Amino acid sequence: MNPAELVASCIAIVGRDAVLSGETAAPYCQDWRGRYAGEALAVVFPADTRQVSAVVRLCAEHGVSIVPQGGNTSLCGASVPLAGNMPQVVINLSRMNRIHSTDATDYTITVEAGCTLASVHAAAERQGRLFPLGLTAIATHCEIGGNLSTNAGGIGVLRYGNMRDLVLGLEVVLPDGRIWNGLRSLRKDNTGYDLKHLFIGAEGTLGIITAAVLKLYPRPKAVANACVAVRDPAAAVALLAHLRANCGDKISGYEIISRSCLDLVFRHIADTREPFAVPHEWIVITQLADVLDTPLDGALRNALQSFGDGIAEFAVAADKDEAERWWTLRKNISEAQKREGISIKHDVAVPVSRVAEFIAQAGSALRASYPGIRIVAFGHMGDGNIHYNLSLPDAAQNQAFIEQHEHGVNRIVYRVVAGLDGSISAEHGLGQLKRDEIAQYKSGLELELMRTIKHALDPHGLMNPGKVL
């Protein structure tokens, strides 16, 4: 089947208006960061699971690779086709955006993969419930299928867990077009292998997630926020342990932000300002939440006051607007970096107790090898996930710096991470960006098991080739 015949066959399945090819397909073949771009024979927008199945079966029969895509907000190049002459079809699930049901008694919501995270938040809210996945920047664009495929984390992992912890059941189209219906809402089901976990975090390499049953939680009635200037990351680690001992599971967010992040936000994001009269090198933004309608401000203030000398100063939000101004600083770091220009991005995790060690060791090694390097460090200290991005202060020099030194920079960062028993990808996945690097940090047995699973489900290697493995 030649490309024109394949496109015509896709049109016969989903309709003429739901297939793009040529120049009109180009925006879906480039990633959000502008780093990866490829070509596709077509971008197909199925309306339901049966159409997904039919398109996948068509591609499988003719040996055409398949690239699953949602909101295309991947930071590692997993959601776009590879560069080169490989025949590929992008299957974009954005039309599949229906919320099938919300069960306030069962605390579940069943949604299609193309639902945006923001729409799921809103649907839960209408039922007086909470879907707790809290991504800081792209909730209006990212989609549930992508959140599942990357095992997304965000600011609520400390309390609620990653996406893997928020799922009860899945529906998946397999690489041969068969449909596995695992849309169960059971809290207990001990009847063999829990197959849904194969597809969560697999970045579309084992099948296409088309729908999911997600967990809901009670909606908090009381919330308190604080912005804390800490002496250094070690003080931030100690403060987290102190808050957990004094506030328990009420902590629903704990984010650390370095001075370099704040400087970029103030430069590129309008209506932002310093949280304190005196600038500080490190701040923490934390949040308590509870389903009981009892004010939490006092408890948070008392816990901070009793911590000791690791805090330079702090403020507990007197109103929602003040708290939102603080969270705006955190939510806009990625956007500010994008406006500043490209950088070498790392999404790493170490044990929470070793976050300060990572920041100190990596920073020392990088500055010794690359004097003048700018380190933009921030993220989810509550679960040990730090976004650690490197560039030069002069944006005009970054392209050449990254082309010449990215491998060396990565080697330094990843060696420190490995030495602290960490992971080189905490929540963004591997995609194309870290596909080759991971071979140095996983054991041969782990990689063998991953390849065995991949071959069992996708023996012809057609599902999102060149990603993860």
pLDDT greater than 70 at residue 136: no
**What is the pLDDT at residue 56?**
98
**Alpha-carbon distances of 169 from 124, 166, 194, 246, rounded to whole Å:** 17, 10, 10, 35
- The CATH classification number of 341-438 equals 3.30.70.2740
pLDDT, average across residues 197-224? 97
Over residues 204-227, mean pLDDT? 97
Task: Give the tokens for residue 216.
Answer: 């809901």
Written as six digits, the tokens of 359 are: 């920041």
Domain 99-218 matches domain 222-263+270-317 at the CATH topology level? no
Query: Do the Cβ atoms of 73 and 141 come closer than 8 Å?
Result: yes
- E strand or H helix at 44: strand 42-44
Contacts of 161 (CB under 8 A, 6+ apart): none
Quick one: pLDDT at residue 1? Answer: 78
- pTM equals 0.92
- Identify whether the C-beta of residue 150 lies closer than 8 Å to the C-beta of residue 251: no
Q: Where are the domains of the chain?
A: 3-92, 99-218, 222-263+270-317, 341-438
Q: How far apart are CA 130 and CA 102, in angstroms?
A: 11
Asked if pLDDT for residue 137 goes beyond 80, the answer is: no
Mean pLDDT for the chain? 94
**CB < 8 Å & 24+ apart, contacts of 236-242:** 236/282, 236/284, 236/310, 236/355, 236/356, 236/381, 237/352, 237/353, 237/355, 237/356, 237/381, 238/307, 238/310, 239/284, 239/304, 239/307, 239/310, 239/311, 240/352, 240/381, 240/382, 242/303, 242/306, 242/307
* CATH number of the structural domain 3-92: 3.30.43.10
Token duo for residue 451: 């390849």
Query: Residue 69 above 70 pLDDT?
Result: yes
pLDDT on residue 317: 92
The pLDDT of residue 460: 96
Q: Tell me: the pLDDT tens digits for 348-389? A: 999 999 999 999 999 999 999 999 999 999 999 999 999 999
pLDDT at site 138: 63
pLDDT at 58 exceeding the cut of 80: yes
In this predicted model, what pLDDT tens digit does every residue of 392-425 receive, in sequence order? 998 888 889 988 999 999 999 999 999 999 999 9
What is the greatest pairwise CA distance in the chain? 72
- Predicted pLDDT of residue 135: 83
Residue 75 has pLDDT above 90, yes or no: no
Question: Domain 222-263+270-317's class?
Answer: alpha beta
Tokens of 40: 């596709």
What span, in angstroms and rounded, lies between the C-alpha atoms of 143 and 174? 20
Q: Which CATH number fits domain 99-218: 3.40.50.2030, 3.40.605.10, 3.40.50.300, 3.30.465.10?
A: 3.30.465.10
pLDDT value at 180 more than 70: yes
With contact defined as beta carbons under 8 Å apart, do 458 and 175 qualify? Answer: yes
Residue 311: its pLDDT value, please? 97
> How far apart (Å, rounded) are the C-alpha atoms in residues 412 and 362?
7
